[in-house]
């Protein structure tokens, strides 16, 4: 097994493989209260994975080292610190395992402890997920341009159609979660409905309780 950390152009290989490598995985789950059901779990996707391991950078070429000709301990340390303080996205690869993940360095602790000048460390890595902002397509841009140039008054039929507001009349057994799932396909989007109706129904500003006969705006 070999462990690499870095970019395509600048990477390090750890000379001493740690005895264990922990990969932590979890989900982002909220608990919401629903009338007559109590708390229900709301799945909000996966949390960022974390990887943690402890090893040391040797000051000499021990027989158990993975390879020879490696850098001095503090050269390893300075490179890792530089990546950490720059917030540079890296990739961690553990051969002979599924671990091949983009990451950021969350924490890097070092200590000398036995007079050998070996540098012991604990490294914590946090999964990196690039944020993708969609660009407006050329067709949308063209459409917006045409709309901006069109200053003619719309017909009465179009005006009435655009101004129609979708509503939902609450019946027995309805919950905000179920209503959001019906109209949006995802129950976890119920706060949109709550926000749009809390002025009309002030009770919604304090809790998620709805009553039969309420006519809710579906934004």
Rounded average pLDDT over 121-132: 89
The confidence score (pLDDT) of residue 44 equals 82
pLDDT, one tens digit per residue, over 73-98 is: 999 999 999 999 999 899 999 988 88
Cα gap 16→39, rounded to integer Å: 48
Task: Supply 9's token pair.
Answer: 């152009």
pLDDT, one tens digit per residue, over 143-170 is: 555 555 555 554 444 444 456 788 999 8
CA nearest to 184, candidates 161, 200, 202, 168: 168
Across-strand partners of 126?
Answer: 50, 104
CA nearest to 11, candidates 71, 68, 98, 52: 71
Cα gap 50→25, rounded to integer Å: 7
């Amino acid at each position: 097994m070999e462990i690499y950390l870095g970019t395509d152009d600048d990477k390090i290989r750890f000379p001493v493989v740690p005895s264990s490598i922990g990969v932590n995985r979890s989900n982002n789950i909220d608990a919401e209260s629903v009338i007559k059901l109590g708390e229900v779990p709301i799945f909000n996707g996966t949390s960022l994975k974390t990887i943690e391991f402890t090893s040391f950078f040797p000051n000499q070429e021990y027989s158990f080292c993975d390879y020879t000709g490696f850098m001095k301990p503090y050269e390893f340390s300075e490179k890792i610190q530089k990546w950490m303080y720059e917030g540079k996205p890296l990739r961690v690869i553990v051969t002979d395992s599924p671990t091949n993940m983009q990451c950021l360095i969350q924490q890097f602790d070092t200590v000398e402890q036995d007079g050998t000048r070996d540098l012991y460390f604990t490294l914590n890595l946090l999964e990196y997920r690039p944020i993708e902002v969609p660009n407006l397509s050329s067709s949308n841009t063209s459409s917006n341009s045409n709309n901006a140039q069109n200053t003619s008054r719309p017909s009465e039929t179009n005006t009435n159609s655009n101004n129609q507001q979708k509503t939902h009349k609450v019946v027995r057994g309805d919950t905000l979660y179920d209503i959001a799932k019906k109209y949006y396909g995802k129950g976890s989007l119920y706060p949109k409905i709550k926000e749009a109706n809390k002025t009309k129904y002030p009770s919604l500003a304090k809790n998620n309780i709805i009553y039969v006969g309420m006519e809710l705006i579906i934004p």
